[in-house]
A and B are shown apart, each in its own frame.
Chain A
Amino acid sequence: MLRRTIRLFLASVSLLVFAFPVLALSQTAAPADTQARIAALEQAMHQSQAATASAQMSGDNAWMLTSAALVLMMTGPGLALFYGGLVRKKNILGTMMQSFAMMGLVSILWALVGYSLAFGHGNLFIGGFEHVFLKGVTLSPNPDYGPTIPEQTYMIYQLMFAIITPALICGAFAERMKFSSMAVFLTLWSLIIYCPMAHMVWGVGGLFNSAGTHIPSFDFAGGTVVHITSGVSALVCALYMGKRIGYPHTAMPPHSLVLSFIGACLLWVGWFGFNAGSAVAANGLATSAFVNTHFATAAAALGWTIFEWLHAGKPTALGAISGAVAGLVAITPASGFVQPMSALVIGLIAGLFCSFMVFKVKALFGYDDSLDAFGVHGAGGTLGALLTGIFATWVINPVYGPGKATGAIDGNWHQMLNQLAAVGTSWGISIVGTLILLVVVDKIMGLRVTPEQEVAGLDLSQHGEEGYALD
């Protein structure tokens, strides 16, 4: 169908080109039947243009709606299972509910004001209020973001990113935060930290927008916006809230690595929507991001496993899936900018680096980042954002124009400064913003459950349920 429309379109264009001299010569006295034929030709051309646009929108929209669903699957069930399996069994429902609460709360917030603050016009740092209550977000494309898909598709796709980002933070304060405080804290967090960062990197006129003129930095699918913000905020949460009772002397092994395993594999699959969907079209760039995502993940799983095998003597299942997630995180900013061989390198480095952060650095400083949200997302996100500056190439994504040096591998070392600026800003806004929010919520309603509730578990104390019944 598409090929037929294109052929029709080409035929009408060439007919018009041949008709043009006739048109020019006969301006003054064209016979009536020539004019009629020109009019018919013009009409046919417009019709075929409309048919081509409609066919492209159909293809792109199908992929983007699929991607949006895949990204939602990353939070629930993906992340909920991944985190849920890593906690003790008395906290599984409490942990899964944290992810699920974001699916509800952030969605509502996004419709009311979040989308507008992230993707409205506005200034360098935050969007405006023109899309509050989704005003003007219609089924027509918005040329700023996706010229070939309805803007509502773009809006709902971006919502799924806004949902998973605060949900990732929950890994840092697992097993000890009040449900009510968690809901208030993360709702405010998505307004005060996520929306501005998304606007700066992806919003029209944003400070770090790669298509802009200010400090163009490369973040294809959310290394700075999603992983650095969530990972660094997670570290601040772990430091501010303190350790779980008994940590690190009491053994707190994961209660079901089977659940975590399923969750991690769902994350891997869902991440194709996250990264390849960030092309906002079903085009070659989407394929590139898809391929890079897959190779980096495989390499990172290998990297983490090698580190663990050498360090602890056994290749564990938890190590392999943790490495895969680290690779997914690190390739996220780079996925639409680099070659597949670079993706392998990025993944391998990410697997080794993140396992080192989790094994060595966490133990050195003694903070209780319970499920390693910082060690994987903060560390992997920072690494990925910087490696994107090194490996980005115009061959894959000519952001600065065809043949123009893009990343350091093309000879544009200056790009590293832009990447550093975006990384630094993301770290800064996450540290300061999270700290202020934690203090405020702590003063008003308290952050931690009581020691008795913590010992009893979040399932019973926060929700009045148990994940596993005895009969």
Chain B
Amino acid sequence: MLKIEAVLQPSKLDAVKDALLEAGIEGMTILEARGHGRQKGHTEFYRGREYTVDLLPKVKIEMVVHDNMKEKAIQAIVGAARTGRIGDGKIFISPVEEAIRIRNDERGENAL
């Protein structure tokens, strides 16, 4: 089992979600987040005072999938979220030791 975490531009969320569903990934968790990578922030003005906002609004998607879904998931996310500009986001993938369905105590890949 793999955990896929992707940080995205909020405007790309719907496209990515649809692409993942199409690729056969049915469960996901979505978090509203703030952050930045190499992308710079922007400045805001309030009554002559200038504020630099470097933590920008982002969306983070988390899902746990079968090992064989890895490439399909990556392609779905990259295909839907890429604009080619700085700030498009990142994908992180890590192994998952165990999964448990709370309702009936199913374990492992059956619980996904």
In the assembled complex, A409 has its CB within 8 A of some CB on chain B: no
Q: Mark A281-315, 1 if CB is under 8 A from B, else 0.
A: 00000000000000000000000000010011110
Contact with A along B44-81 (1 / 0, CB 8 A): 11111111110000000000000000000000000000
When C-beta atoms are compared, the residue in chain B nearest to A314 turns out to be: B45
Q: Is the interface of A mostly helix, strand, loop or mixed?
A: helix
A315 smallest CB distance to B (angstroms): 10
Q: What residues on B are CB-neighbors of A311 within 8 Å?
A: 48
A448 to B24, CA, bound (A): 59
Give the nearest-CB partner of B51 in chain A: A251
Bound: A311/B50 CA distance, A: 11
Nearest CB on B from A322, distance (A): 6
A239 contacts B by Cβ under 8 Å: no
A235 to chain B, nearest CB (A): 16
| Shortest CB distance B31–A (Å) | 14
CB distance from A373 to the nearest CB of B (A): 12
Please give, as numbers and ranges, the residues of chain A lying within 8 Å of B48 by CB-CB distance: 308, 311-312, 355, 358-360, 363
A17 to chain B, nearest CB (A): 66
Q: With an 8 A cutoff between CB atoms, is A450 at the interface? A: no
Option from B45, B52, B53 in Cβ contact (under 8 Å) with A312? B45
Question: What's the Cα separation between A360 and B49 when bound, in Å?
Answer: 10
Tell me the minimal C-beta distance from A230 to chain B in angstroms. 19
Residue of A251, A322, A372 contacting most chain B CB atoms (<10 Å):
A251
Please report which residues of chain A, range 340-381, place their CB below 8 angstroms from some CB of chain B when the two chains form the complex. Answer: 355, 358-360, 363, 372
Number of A-B contacts (CB under 8 A): 30
Nearest chain B residue, comparing its CB with the CB of A375: B47
Contacts of A253 in B (CB 8 A): 44, 46, 51
Smallest beta-carbon distance A362→chain B, Å: 8
Judge whether A372 and B45 touch: CB under 8 Å.
Answer: no
- In the assembled complex, the CB of A153 is this many whole angstroms from the nearest CB of chain B, namely 38
Contact in complex: A358, B47 (CB < 8 Å): yes
A318 within 8 A of partner (CB) = yes
CB distance from B68 to the nearest CB of A (A): 38
The B34-52 residues at the A interface (CB cut-off 8 A) are 44-52
A47 at the interface (CB under 8 A from B): no
Contact A316 B45 (CB under 8 A): yes
A319 within 8 Å of B (CB atoms): yes
Interface centre among B46, B51, B52 (most CB of A within 10 A): B46
* Residue A254, interface by CB 8 Å: yes
- When the two chains form the complex, which single residue of B46, B50, B52, B53 contacts A318, counting CB atoms closer than 8 Å? B46
Whether A372 lies near B51 (C-beta < 8 A) is no
In the bound complex, how far is the Cα of B48 from the Cα of A248, in angstroms? 13
Find the A residue at minimum CB distance from B48.
Answer: A359
* Max count, chain A CB within 10 A of own CB: residue among B47, B49, B52: B47
Tell me if A322 and B45 are in contact (CB < 8 A).
no
Residue of chain B at shortest CB distance from A360: B48
Q: How far is the CB of B86 from chain A (nearest CB, A)?
A: 23
The digit string for B8-43, where 1 denotes a CB below 8 A from any CB of A, is 000000000000000000000000000000000000
**A363 to B, closest residue via Cβ:** B48
* Distance A295 CA – B46 CA, assembled complex (angstroms): 25
Q: Is the CB of A254 within 8 A of B46?
A: yes
Closest to A312 in B: B45
Task: Tell me the complex Cα distance, A313–B48, Å.
Answer: 10
For A314, list chain B residues within 8 Å (CB): 45
Are B51 and A322 in contact (CB-based, < 8 A)?
no
CA distance A253 to B53 in the complex (A): 10
Are B50 and A312 in contact, CB atoms less than 8 angstroms apart? yes
Q: Which of A248, A251, A319 contacts B47 (CB 8 A)?
A: A319
How far, in whole Å, are A312 and B45 apart by their CA atoms in the complex? Answer: 7
Q: Which B residues lie within 8 Å of A358 (CB)?
A: 47-48
CB contacts (< 8 Å) of B44 on chain A: these are 253
Shortest beta-carbon distance from A106 to chain B in Å: 28
In the bound complex, what is the Cα–Cα distance between A381 and B45 (angstroms)? 25
Query: Chain B nearest CB: distance from A324 CB in Å?
Result: 14
Distance in Å: Cβ of A304 to nearest Cβ of chain B: 10
Docked complex Cα distance between A372 and B48 (Å): 12
**Using Cβ atoms and an 8 Å threshold, which residues of chain A touch B53?**
251
Residues of B within 8 Å of A319, CB to CB, are 47
CB proximity of A67 to chain B, nearest CB, Å: 31
CA A99 – CA B52 in complex, angstroms?
31
Q: Inside 8 A of B49's CB, which chain A residues have their CB?
A: 248
Question: Closest approach, in angstroms, between the C-beta of B35 and any C-beta of chain A?
Answer: 17
The 3 closest A-B pairs by CB, nearest first: A359-B48, A251-B51, A312-B45
Residues of B within 8 A of A (CB): 44-53
Can you report 29 A-B residue pairs in the complex whose CB atoms are below 8 A from each other?
A248-B49, A251-B51, A251-B52, A251-B53, A253-B44, A253-B46, A253-B51, A254-B46, A308-B45, A308-B48, A311-B48, A312-B45, A312-B48, A312-B50, A313-B45, A314-B45, A316-B45, A316-B46, A318-B46, A318-B47, A319-B47, A322-B47, A355-B48, A358-B47, A358-B48, A359-B47, A359-B48, A363-B48, A372-B47
Contacts A318-B47, A319-B47, A322-B47 given; 14 further ones with Cβ under 8 A?
A248-B49, A251-B52, A251-B53, A254-B46, A308-B45, A311-B48, A312-B45, A312-B48, A312-B50, A316-B45, A358-B48, A359-B47, A360-B48, A363-B48
